[in-house]
Structure 1
C-alpha cells in the first residue's frame, strides 16, 4: 500500500538519483531548476524559498520498501480552490508498475479531502508520453487551449499539454 507524507530534506538524496539524464531532468522540472545535474542540496535550497508558504506543499510517496515518488502541490488562486501538481517523479526502478498512478490518486485524495481543492491541474510535455498516459490513467482530462504553452528547452521548442481533474461531488 502506498502512502503520502510531507517531504523531508533527507528525501532529496533519493529523488535526485532518479533523474538519469538532462532530458529527463528538463521534462521533470520544466526549467524551474537551472543546474544539471541537480544535487540534494539544490533541491532543498529550491524548496527553502517556500518554507513559510501556506500555498506550497512538497510531498513524498512511500511504501514498505521506502520512498517511491515525489510531487509538489501549489495553489494557483487566491481563494485556494485550485491546486497545481508539479515535479512529479517516481523511482526509476519502479516506473511502469502503477506507482505513479497510485501516487497521483493519493495526492488527489489529499488535495480534495485535506486541502479542500475543487480542481487540480498539471502540465506535461508532449515528448513525455509515459507521464501523459500515467496522468490520464489517474483520471486527468485534457484541457484544450487556444494557444498552447511552448517552452524553449535544450535548443528545442517543447509543447506543454494541460490536464485537469475536477472534484466530483
Structure 2
C-alpha cells in the first residue's frame, strides 16, 4: 500500500466498466460516467489533503491492483472511514479485496492511531459486504439510514465498523 499518484488514475478508472458499478463505488461523488483520470485527479486535489484524508494504492510488484481512501469523519481522529474501495476487475476472486481492506485497516490502527475503522456500503453490493465481514467488520444500526439517489433509485447504505485491539 502506497500513497496514490496522479498516474494511477488512468489504471483505476479503467476498472469501472459501467455506471452501475461506478455508483456502487462512488455514489454521487462524481457527476457523470465514465469517470476520467482527470476527474479522479481533480477530486484528489480538492478532497485528499494527506492529513485528515488520504488515498492509497495497492500494488502487486509494480502493478496497480487496488485503491482505497481513508478520512477522519467529524474531526474525530480516533476513527478512520474507508471509502472508494476498488480492485482491478480482471483480478477478482484472488482475495485482493480482503487484502486491501485488511492492510488499510491495519494502517489506520497502527500508523494513524485509530481505535475504530468504519465504512458504508450499498446494500445491493453483496460481494463487498461479504468481503468486509470476512475481514472483521460488523454491521451496525444507525438512527437514520444513509441513502443516495442512484440511477433513478434510492440506494440504502449498510454501516459497518471494526474496532482495534
1:40-59 map, 5 Å: 40-50=37-47, 52=49, 54-59=51-56
Structure 2 residue 12 is matched with structure 1 residue 33: no
2:104 to 97, 102, 107: 107
Q: Please, which moves more after superposition, 58-67 or 126-135?
A: 58-67
Gaps of 5+ in 2: none
Secondary structure in 1 aligned to 2:75? coil
TM-score (normalised: structure 2): 0.96
How many pairs are equivalent?
165
Alignment RMSD: 1.2
1: CA distance, partners of 2:118 / 2:149: 21
1: CA distance, partners of 2:45 / 2:146: 28
* CA gap 1:79/1:162 in 2 versus in 1, 3 angstroms: closer
Gaps of 5+ in 1: none
TM-score (normalised: structure 1): 0.93
